[in-house]
Amino acid sequence: MLQAITRLSHPEAIEAMHRFQQDHPEFITVESETGPWSMIIPAGRFFVTTEGDHLSVLAEGVDTIGLSYLKLIFVDHIREYLDEELEFTWAGDETDTKVPPFFRQITVVWSKQLTRSMQRVRFAVPDLETLQHTELHVRLLLPPKGRAPVWPWMTASGGMAWPQGEDALMARIYTLRSVDLAAGEIEIDFVLHACDAPSAANWSTLCQPGDVAGMLGPSGQIPPATGRLLLLGDETALPAIARTCEALPEGADCEVLVEVDGPQDEMDLGWPVIWLHRNGATPGTTSLLADAVKAREPSEDLYLWAAAEFGAFKDIRRHVRSVWNLPRERHSVVAYWRSGTEGLLPEEPHHKKKA
């Protein structure tokens, strides 16, 4: 494995690591009040030990992409928890990387409308086979119209730097609907919605073959197919639910519920779906998904996966954790969007501001 090490001296460094672990117990383990901490994911792992108020960090990646991910995860989280743009000095492998190894400039092949609320765009991706193509999500980067794109770059600290001003990018998180390794192409589905400001949805309907975009990732695991599986979400979750259904083994115990406006928005997922219709209600204003969860009972082998608007996300997660008492490793409930905003939402808030 590739390795890199760094040290951090800060009076609140240990507290920051405890908050990091408490927010992500499914990935990070700790042995005592003073560490050590370890995080293991498919891309690699890191180990953090303490010496007084110093943190010593060893990051190990399965490849260049994995090591870059581990460094980025650690740096971004610690900076946010401490609310400081701290500088880090890494020693070891891949310390002079400038172009993120998980970045690709991608090119539009075609765009077509699937339903009244969904547009699909196919992209050509160079060196697609070197990416984690079995994972779900990518960050799509759209350059300003009429300007040559300026893409993000890796800093010496292991973080990301982004173009500003006239070169600022529109960044949105999307699901890889399909991956064609032989052709070196991917497909991404865009939910269409009314928006006066520039949006990725509008871009998807106007883009032409040959147009370029940027892509970071992929990341995010497909839900496990063992035991009983409950998948639910609104239109924004359809691509992830479809990918999950396609990966299910024959005879899998999986129930799928999807909220859309009406029958015209339904899609063939190759799996039975219970469609919940809003019937003209504004997206993000109904309790259809939360009510569906509350009408069901958990089981010892249940894994629940849900993605929807922020309000539904809160209601579903509250019920799953407080009423069902479902362990963290048995559910994933995320907010894909928030009513009244246009832009990125974290799948899970990964830090909490101190009171």
pLDDT digits (tens, 9 = 90+) for 223-270: 988 899 999 999 999 999 999 999 999 999 999 999 999 999 999 999
Residue 352 banded pLDDT, cuts 50, 70, 90: very low
Topology, domain 228-337: Rossmann fold (3.40.50)
Residue 343, pLDDT score: 55
Buried/exposed code over 81-120 (b: 16+ C-beta within 10 A; e: otherwise) = bbeeeeebebeebbeebeebbbbbbbbbbebeeebebbbb
Question: Could you tell me the pTM of the whole model?
Answer: 0.90
Backbone angles phi, psi at 268, to 5 degrees: -80, 115
Residue 96, pLDDT score: 84
| Mean pLDDT (whole number) for 141-157 | 95
Residue 342, pLDDT score: 59
Residue 328, pLDDT score: 86
Please, are residues 189 and 118 in contact by the beta-carbon 8 Å criterion? yes
CA distance 88 to 194: 43
pLDDT per residue as tens digits for the range 57-74: 999 999 999 999 999 999
CA distance 95 to 214: 23
Least confident of 1-15, 163-177, 235-249, 327-341: 327-341
Was domain 2-92 assigned CATH 3.30.310.50?
yes
pLDDT per residue as tens digits for the range 169-200: 999 999 999 999 999 999 999 999 877 778 99
Residue 353, pLDDT score: 36
| Mean pLDDT (whole number) for 193-218 | 91
Residue 52, pLDDT score: 82
Outline where DSSP puts E strands in 204-261: 212-219, 228-233, 253-260
Residue 220 banded pLDDT, cuts 50, 70, 90: confident
Least confident of 53-57, 114-118, 227-231, 348-352: 348-352
Is 124's pLDDT higher than 60?
yes
Residue 298 banded pLDDT, cuts 50, 70, 90: very high
| Mean pLDDT (whole number) for 110-121 | 97
**Domain assignments of the chain as residue spans, ordered by start:** 2-92, 103-219, 228-337
Residue 221 banded pLDDT, cuts 50, 70, 90: confident
Is 132's pLDDT higher than 90?
no
Residue 350, pLDDT score: 33
Is 345's pLDDT higher than 60?
no
Please, are residues 245 and 271 in contact by the beta-carbon 8 Å criterion? yes
Query: In the CATH scheme, what architecture does the domain 103-219 have?
Result: Beta Barrel (2.40)
